[in-house]
Amino acid sequence: MIKQYSGNIYTDFYINAAKKLNISYRLLPEHKYTYILRKNNKTLFISNAVLGVNNFLSHQITNNKYKTYLLFDLENIPHPKAIKIKDLKKIKKKVKDLNKPIVVKPIIGFGGHGVTVKINNPKQLKKAIKFAKKFKNEIIIEEFINGEDYRILLFRDKIIDIVKRIPANIKGNGKDSINILINRKNDKRKSVGLKKIRFDNELNKELKSKKLTLESKPEKGKKLYLRKNCNMASGGETKRVPLKKVHKDNKKLFIKAANFLNLNFAGIDFISKDITKSYRNNSASINEINRFPSLDVHYFADMKMDNSVAENILSTYFKY
């Protein structure tokens, strides 16, 4: 488990790695989460898990999801077809050009906040827009890309790690209820520092769509997904993908996208039916790019609590 230094686990991934690699670290006076790392006459600042390696303008541009899509168009980088909405009166006209189902999200944001996926009718759309606007007045509506959800972590032209993100789920045993199975899995998640699967409206809605309740007893060996999104904060999990299994075209695409946006450090959200196949042949798409990616999805992959990703990043930075 990660030893606590700052009280912020996302920062502590790096501090633990620095200690293991004999990189000196010091807390900036009067700044609880800002650290200065030094080795070989080089300095690196880390504040609230944000590494000081990306330039300001690239940081600002990629903060805007729609602006990022416009830039991707210039380089033929695949992304979901999307529209930007500020005037609600024009929604019906603009949405007609998008294939269903669709996704609604704030134009700026992270962590899945304000995002609703797989919208198929006007009632769902209206509710999703209202939800997104709680986080940002401007929103984007885009086509839903069918496939597996991957996070690719890059640092200075190097793919550090790839994980597949999986929605909250349980496996039936033929005798216990969904309620018992969730609580049992939550105990396991809590023991390793992961947030619990939430008992909320989204869970109830997902169960209802499958004609199930919390008292239903899934058959033995059956995997039951409990929500549509893969957010770890609501019970999602991750599985590490061996880099050698990823198609070379996809690897080139990830590096191209980060380089084009001038990001030294980036987390790419990639949707693909099969990451071992070229994105050119299966309608795969870069769904989003994060300019200060969190390492938790990598640390908790396969429930192994492996901090090698943070160590790899710091080793690469201080090597040159």
Consecutive H or E run containing 107: none
Report yes or no: 197 and 184 within 8 Å, Cβ to Cβ: no
CA distance 236 to 165: 7
Residue 305 has pLDDT above 90, yes or no: yes
User: How many residues appear in the chain?
Assistant: 320
CA distance 144 to 128: 14
Q: What pLDDT does residue 137 have? A: 84
Phi, psi angle pair for 268, to nearest 5°: -100, 130
Beta bridge partner(s), residue 44: 37
Taking a C-beta distance cutoff of 8 angstroms, is the pair 191, 243 a contact?
no
> 């930007």: which residue's tokens?
84
Query: Partners of 51 in the beta sheet?
Result: 46
pTM flag (> 0.75): yes
Per residue in 49-71, pLDDT (tens digit) is 899 999 999 989 999 999 999 99
Q: pLDDT band for position 320 (50/70/90)? A: low
Are the C-beta atoms of residues 177 and 167 closer than 8 Å to each other? no
pLDDT recorded at residue 108: 87
- Report the alpha-carbon distance of residue 13 to residue 35 in Å, rounded: 12
Q: What is the pLDDT of residue 136?
A: 86
* CB 162, CB 297: distance < 8 Å: no
Q: What is the pLDDT of residues 151-209, one digit of tens each?
A: 999 999 999 999 999 999 999 999 999 999 999 999 999 988 899 999 998 899 999 99
Mean pLDDT of 12-17: 94
What's the mean per-residue pLDDT of the chain?
92
Query: Can you tell me the mean pLDDT for 111-140?
Result: 88
The pLDDT of residue 216 is 97
What is the residue whose two structure tokens read 């993908």? 241
* Tokens at 218, concatenated: 């899934």
pLDDT tens-digit profile of 207-265? Answer: 999 999 999 999 999 999 999 888 888 899 999 999 999 999 999 999 999 999 999 99
